[in-house]
Amino acid sequence: MTSFNEQYTPIFNRVCAFLGNGWRIDKRIPADAYRISLMNPAFKNYSIGVRMDKGRIILVGGVRRGHRSNEHSRCTVAPTRDPWGIAEDIKRKILIDAAQQIATADADQAGMARQREEKRLVIGLLSRLVETRNYDGYYGVLCSIRMQGMTGDVSEGYGDTYKLKLDALSKDQLIRVVGFLSTLER
């Protein structure tokens, strides 16, 4: 008995030809007997997954990434459908949203890069004032700080805010810190 991949690879090679220049079966992905992945270098990180479920061929197009939104376009076709008809359905139902999905993914990546850079800058500025130890991703702690016998953790709050937790303060240090905090403007 032949697998889905073996049976439908010739058909989807023809579908790729009907889709136009650049479309091909993605051979970089390890062989999977139950799936085929279509890609085009002109569509950055975008692919169309093909699989069989309940007697229908399911086509799902989307940007491959592991964060934030999981936008995708989806359609099903009959296994007896000719390659030209499958390609037309892909163009009409899946590729119509591809540019918008790629733009959303690029914006997400740019936003995440800005956040990483901002974290790096905050830790850098704090390290000029006190001893810091970077714990990015460790229970939400951005970094730990140490100064004059006190220790603490800096973590991110909601929006553009930060949380500061201080430990091992003497009574005098506590009063000074609270006094200083009371002079800060919002």
Domain-by-domain residue ranges, the chain?
Answer: 4-104, 130-183
CA-based nearest residue to 104, from 57, 68, 52, 144 = 68
Give the pLDDT of residue 27: 87
Average pLDDT over the chain reads: 89
Give the pLDDT of residue 133: 85
Mean predicted confidence (pLDDT) in 157-163:
86
pTM, 2 dp: 0.74
Give the pLDDT of residue 8: 95
Mean predicted confidence (pLDDT) in 3-8:
92
In this model, does residue 49 exceed pLDDT 60? yes
**Confidence class of residue 31 from pLDDT cuts 50, 70 and 90?**
confident
In this model, does residue 52 exceed pLDDT 60? yes
Tell which wins on pLDDT, 64 or 172: 172
